[in-house]
Amino acid sequence: MRELYIAGNWKMNYKPGEAAVFAKQIADAVKNLKVKVMIAPPFVCLPAVTEAVKGSNVIVAAQNVNDHASGAYTGEISCDMLKDIGVNTVIVGHSERRQYYGETNEFINKKVLFAIENEMDVILCVGETLEERDSGRLEKVLADQINIGLSGVSENQMEKITVAYEPVWAIGTGKTATPSDADSAHAYIRSLIAEKFGKTVAENTIIQYGGSVKPANAKELMACSNIDGALVGGASLTLEPFLSIINASKK
């Protein structure tokens, strides 16, 4: 049985002080819930946030990581630096990184491999643009993102991988995939994982949905058999909607 996993991607929002206060409110509010909850603040907020949620069941993640151990990579952050402050989870391949910073499937794969070799948990984001969907390329795009993104990952290492299906056209637009469209994309992703790693791994892999998840649509989305949680952007930036999504999501 896959665990329900609700994550908040704060993107480029909040300064360290306010992030710590907000993170503590989340930690207090979810302490008795049996849902896996993650928050991903900006890099500079990570020390304050890890401190604020210490001892709670809230996971703190980074929004990106470099694919090298250390060295001359100006502006970058390594796995070791993250682990040193207690951050053991990272989001890789978010569509905003693909779109604005030119990250390719091959580059994302290097980060995935480096992160899991460094014992980190990874949320690998995949998803198609509207143009790709409308031109009938949904399956090809997802197949490339999964097959290349997870290339070289072993069956055992798949324990460290969560996949987030985030159709680009649904991110921050207020448009959500219908539950049945989302569920069928998730089922397809699961079939790709089954082909590559076998049925058991596919059945155990958590696949989150992301893209305008709100309290109003969370229950319906999470009720789908292939949707195991959410990667929430805008609605994770304040307490009430994020908690409502967490509560609405319980299956």
Q: Rounded to the nearest whole angstrom, what is the least distance from the CB of residue 224 to ligand 13P in the complex?
A: 17
All residues at 6 or more sequence positions from 89 whose CB lies less than 8 Å from its CB, including other chains = 38, 40, 59, 60, 61, 62, 120, 121, 122, 123
Binding flag, residue 212, ligand 13P (CB under 6 A): yes
Span interacting with ligand 13P, options 19-27, 71-79, 111-119, 211-219, rule CB under 6 A: 211-219
> Binding to ligand 13P by residue 213, rule CB under 6 A?
yes
Q: CA 117, 119, 120, 121 torsion: positive or negative?
A: positive
Angle between helices 215-222 and 239-248 (to 10 degrees): 20
Q: How is residue 134 written in tokens?
A: 């409308």
* Residue bearing tokens 């299906």: 165
Tokens describing residue 143 = 């197949």
Question: What single DSSP character describes residue 123?
Answer: E
Q: Distance between CA 19 and CA 10 in Å, rounded?
A: 9
* Locus of tokens 């109003």: 216
**Selected binder of ligand 13P within 234, 241, 242, 243 (CB under 6 A):** 234
Place of tokens 């480029």: 12
**172 and 128 in contact (C-beta within 8 Å)?**
no
Cβ closest to ligand 13P, residue 52 vs residue 170: 170
Please, which residue, 193 or 234, has the CB nearer to ligand 13P? Answer: 234
Residue 233 interacting with ligand 13P (CB under 6 A): yes
Does the footprint of ligand 13P cover residue 185 (CB under 6 A)? no
Q: Which of 94, 128, 132, 186 is catalytic?
A: 94
- What mask, x for binding ligand 13P by CB under 6 A, covers residues 64 to 93? ------------------------------
Q: Which of residues 3-62 bind ligand 13P (CB under 6 A)?
A: 9
58 touches 23 (CB < 8 A): yes
Catalytic-residue membership of 68: no
In the set 51, 166, 186, 195, the catalytic residue is 166
Assess 210 for contact with ligand 13P (CB under 6 A).
yes
Decide if 119 is catalytic: no
171 in contact with ligand 13P (CB under 6 A): yes
- Just list the catalytic residues: 94, 166
